[in-house]
Chains A and B, each alone.
Chain A
Amino acid sequence: AQSVTQLGSHVSVSEGALVLLRCNYSSSVPPYLFWYVQYPNQGLQLLLKYTTGATLVKGINGFEAEFKKSETSFHLTKPSAHMSDAAEYFCAVSDWRRGGADGLTFGKGTHLIIQP
């Protein structure tokens, strides 16, 4: 069974500092991987995705993530944090399960706090 682990339920960084949100997954096959962002009382918005090809993927709002198969990781980074980045971030994995259109498997989320 696939699973997603996000290390740290809360991450705090200073404005202008590097943002690093960690995600590790387990999957029986090379998966599709996603990062979503959720602002309070809103739905989830796709930040970026990895399917095949280049392992470093760039997304919206200056975020990027690198797929490392050997480490089964898909960490999310941003060089310089902005106050507007404060939100909940979810890592998700998709692989083939039971032959049906199952939903993505989500991590429990990381709350990103930006200190002024």
Chain B
Amino acid sequence: SQTIHQWPATLVQPVGSPLSLECTVEGTSNPNLYWYRQAAGRGLQLLFYSVGIGQISSEVPQNLSASRPQDRQFILSSKKLLLSDSGFYLCAWSTTSGRFINEQFFGPGTRLTVL
């Protein structure tokens, strides 16, 4: 069966510090991978998605970046965190079915607090 891992589970970082969040998927190959951010009391905002190694698409401009160094590894980074980067970060994976995206499977999330 497939599983998805995220770490760390929680993180408290000062403004201006770097960030690295990691997501790995097991039990599937060539998945589509996604990073979402969920601010307090708000819905999900898609940040990045990837259809393959080294292929990253950004949904919104920001000081975050993503990389996919391996097929089942997705990393979210920042060189300098802002207060507004605080939130709950979710990684997800999916497959495609013809022209459609199938359901996404989510990791447990990382709670990031920037002080």
- Write the residues of chain A forming the contact surface with B, with a CB cutoff of 8 angstroms: 31-32, 34, 36, 41-46, 49, 51, 90, 92, 94-96, 100-104, 106-109
- Write the residues of chain B forming the contact surface with A, with a CB cutoff of 8 angstroms: 32, 34, 36, 42-44, 46, 49, 51, 57, 59, 88, 90, 92, 94, 96-97, 99-109, 111
Q: Which residues of A contact B96 (CB under 8 A)?
A: 101
Q: Which residues of A contact B51 (CB under 8 A)?
A: 100-101
Tell whether, in the assembled complex, residue A43 and residue B101 are in contact, meaning their CB atoms are under 8 Å apart.
no
CB distance from B49 to the nearest CB of A (A): 6
> Which residue of B44, B108, B111 is within 8 Å of A106 (Cβ)?
B44
> Which residue of A32, A41, A101 is within 8 Å of B111 (Cβ)?
A41
Q: Which A residue sits closest to B88, measured CB to CB?
A: A41
Q: Which B residue sits closest to A9, measured CB to CB?
A: B41
Docked pose: A96 CA to B43 CA in angstroms: 21
Docked pose: A51 CA to B95 CA in angstroms: 14
Contacts A43-B108, A44-B90, A102-B49 given; does A32 touch B57 at CB 8 Å: no
Tell whether, in the assembled complex, residue B32 and residue A101 are in contact, meaning their CB atoms are under 8 Å apart.
yes
CB distance from B84 to the nearest CB of A (A): 19
Q: Which residues of B contact A43 (CB under 8 A)?
A: 90, 92, 106-109
Docked pose: A109 CA to B39 CA in angstroms: 12
Docked pose: A106 CA to B42 CA in angstroms: 11
Docked pose: A42 CA to B6 CA in angstroms: 11
Q: Which residues of B contact A103 (CB under 8 A)?
A: 34, 36, 46, 49, 59, 92, 101, 104
Q: Which residues of B contact A44 (CB under 8 A)?
A: 44, 90, 92, 104, 106
Tell whether, in the assembled complex, residue B101 and residue A32 are in contact, meaning their CB atoms are under 8 Å apart.
yes
